[in-house]
Structures are given as structure tokens and as C-alpha cells.
């Protein structure tokens, strides 16, 4: 996969993308990341990328010309082919007004050959970029950042760890929070701890078994795999109900899950 990031702060990415799995994916040749300085596509002495908004109002807006020129120089397929899915390329505008970036979207992007991430700044980006240049707008959450750079780093990290081979143990990316993986669901069933099936992950513990009087749950030490599986599923259900009850609606729940959930709710009163 190739990821291009367009930004007015290319140095921002010197740290975030050079560690862990993102670095590993690049070293293994699974991914390459190019950071493009938007100011290289300006033609004036001051390398101007922003201007005042028509109609008045606060702040400055990123101009369309450098962004269009930058994208045109990248040799991408025409927008209509990208949007129709005829090519495995996507141009993403980072925006607080975009659709929510989720694990599902990360999995969709991980299937592409190329993603281009456009980082906004100031009051945002001239709307013609969203309307005629980008294929989709993505937001990493309901809050406003000062620029798209952190959002781009979040998306690159979430997508690259899903590339086959990027994470040492691939099964681990299939059993994580939010993941509904068709392969896992079909092969092991909705009641398996091999897939979170849309819930939050179950709790993890490691040595020591007793740390300052805080003991690891006994069930994890007894080697009974069926019991461990049931316990983990119950904990995942409990945590999801407590922290993210909205996820229960889209989760793949088995009959056993439904019974456990009913019991948890009854116990909570």
C-alpha cells in the first residue's frame, strides 16, 4: 500500500510514523509513506497556501489551487473511477465534518493500493476540494483539532496494522475491539473469543499473578479453556455494556451472549 500525506507541516511526521508497526510495515515493503509539502505547489514568493474567506468571517482558509495541483501531479486515476471503486485508490480529506473513521473504515482502506490523506489547517479547506477533488471526508472524532496531521497519523497507523503481515500474529488484529471479521465469524462462530465480533476486547493480564495484592482472576490460571473462553466473553460484554452500550446493537451476539447479557443487566438492577 502507498500512503501520501499532503500537509503544510511535513516535518510533523518525522516522529509518529517512524515507530512500531508503521515502521515495520515500511521496512517489510508492505507499505510506503510519502509526505508532500503543499507549499511546493505554490507559485508566489511567500509560498501562500491560505486566503481570507469570501463573505467574511473568522480566520483563513486553505486555497484550492495548490491542493488541486498537488493531487494532479500524483498520477492518480480519475475521481469517477476512484469513487466507483474501479481502482483501488482513495483521496481522503481530513475534516471534523467528515464521516466517522472507525475500525470498519480502516479495514476498507486497508484493501486499497493507495490512499491520499489531505490535511486541512486554519478554518478549514476551500469547499471545492471536498466537492470535486476528494473522494470522501473522514473525521477521527467529534472534536476539533487545529489541523489534519494528527488525524492522518491516526488513520495511517490504524490502516497499516491491518495489512497482512504487518502485525506478527495476524489473529491478534482479528480479535481486537470493534472488529467484525467475516472470516473469524464464519470459521469459529459468534461465541468464540477468537473474534470480538463488534464488542470491546476482553481484559488481558500478565505476570506477576499477584501484584501488590491485586490478583489476576483465578479462572485465567486454571487452564480450563472453555471456562476461560466463557469468562472472557462475559467480561467483554460487561465492559461493552458499561463503556460503549451503543456497540451492542451492531455486535454479532450468540444465544449464549444474549443470556449472559440478560444476567449482567439483571445483576446491575
Measured from the CB atom, the residue of 146 and 206 that comes closer to ligand SAM is: 146
Check residue 141 for interaction with ligand SAM (CB under 6 A).
yes
**Angstrom distance (rounded) from CA 38 to CA 146:** 17
Residue of 1, 35, 133, 140 interacting with ligand SAM (CB under 6 A):
140
The 10 Å Cβ neighbour count of residue 216 is 15
Residue of 25, 71, 90, 148 interacting with ligand SAM (CB under 6 A):
148
Check residue 143 for interaction with ligand SAM (CB under 6 A).
yes
Distance of CA 111 to the CA centre of its chain: 13
**Angstrom distance (rounded) from CA 192 to CA 175:** 10
Binding-site size for ligand SAM (CB under 6 A) equals 20
User: Which grid coordinates are listed for 71?
Assistant: 493531487
Measured from the CB atom, the residue of 59 and 165 that comes closer to ligand SAM is: 59
Q: Which of residues 78-137 bind ligand SAM (CB under 6 A)?
A: 94-97, 119-121, 123-125
Is residue 238 helix, strand or coil?
A: helix
Measured from the CB atom, the residue of 96 and 228 that comes closer to ligand SAM is: 96
Least spacing, CB of residue 95 vs ligand SAM, in Å: 5
Least spacing, CB of residue 125 vs ligand SAM, in Å: 5
**Angstrom distance (rounded) from CA 194 to CA 189:** 9
Residue nearest to ligand SAM (CB): 120
DSSP sequence for 74-139: TTPPPHHHHHTTSSSEEEEEEEEEEEEP-HHHHHHHTTSSEEEEEPP-TT-B-HHIIIII-SEEEE
Residue of 5, 151, 199, 260 interacting with ligand SAM (CB under 6 A):
151
Burial 118-130 (b: 16+ CB within 10 A, else e): bbbbbebbbeebb
Least spacing, CB of residue 213 vs ligand SAM, in Å: 41
Given phi > 0 = left and psi -120 to 50 = alpha, else beta, which region is 58?
beta
Measured from the CB atom, the residue of 55 and 164 that comes closer to ligand SAM is: 55
Q: Which residues of the shown chain bind ligand SAM in the complex (CB under 6 A)? A: 94-97, 119-121, 123-125, 139-141, 143-148, 151
Amino acid at each position: 500500500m502507498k500512503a501520501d500525506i499532503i500537509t503544510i507541516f511535513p516535518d510533523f511526521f518525522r516522529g509518529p510514523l517512524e515507530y512500531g508497526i508503521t515502521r515495520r510495515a515500511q521496512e517489510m515493503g508492505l507499505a510506503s509513506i510519502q509526505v508532500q509539502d503543499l507549499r511546493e505547489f505554490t507559485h508566489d514568493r511567500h509560498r501562500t497556501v491560505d486566503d481570507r474567506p469570501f463573505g467574511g468571517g473568522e480566520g483563513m482558509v486553505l486555497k484550492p489551487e495548490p491542493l488541486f495541483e498537488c493531487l494532479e501531479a500524483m498520477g492518480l486515476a480519475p475521481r469517477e473511477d476512484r469513487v466507483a471503486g474501479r481502482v483501488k485508490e482513495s483521496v481522503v480529506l481530513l475534516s471534523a465534518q467528515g464521516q466517522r473513521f472507525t475500525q470498519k473504515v480502516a479495514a476498507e482502506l486497508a484493501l486499497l493500493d493507495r490512499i491520499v490523506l489531505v490535511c486541512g489547517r486554519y478554518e478549514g479547506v476551500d469547499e471545492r476540494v471536498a466537492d470535486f477533488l476528494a473522494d470522501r471526508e473522514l473525521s477521527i472524532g467529534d472534536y476539533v483539532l487545529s489541523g489534519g496531521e494528527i488525524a492522518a497519523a491516526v488513520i495511517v497507523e490504524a490502516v497499516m496494522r491491518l495489512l497482512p503481515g504487518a502485525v506478527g500474529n495476524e489473529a491478534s488484529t482479528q480479535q481486537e475491539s470493534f472488529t467484525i471479521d467475516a472470516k473469524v465469524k464464519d470459521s469459529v462462530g459468534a461465541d468464540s473469543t477468537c473474534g470480538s465480533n463488534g464488542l470491546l476486547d476482553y481484559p488481558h493480564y500478565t505476570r506477576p499473578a499477584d501484584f501488590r495484592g491485586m490478583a489476576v482472576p483465578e479462572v485465567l490460571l486454571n487452564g480450563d479453556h472453555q471456562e476461560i473462553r466463557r469468562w472472557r466473553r462475559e467480561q467483554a460484554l460487561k465492559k461493552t455494556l458499561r463503556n460503549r452500550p451503543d456497540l451492542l446493537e451492531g455486535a454479532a451476539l450468540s444465544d449464549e451472549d444474549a443470556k449472559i447479557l440478560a444476567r449482567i443487566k439483571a445483576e446491575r438492577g
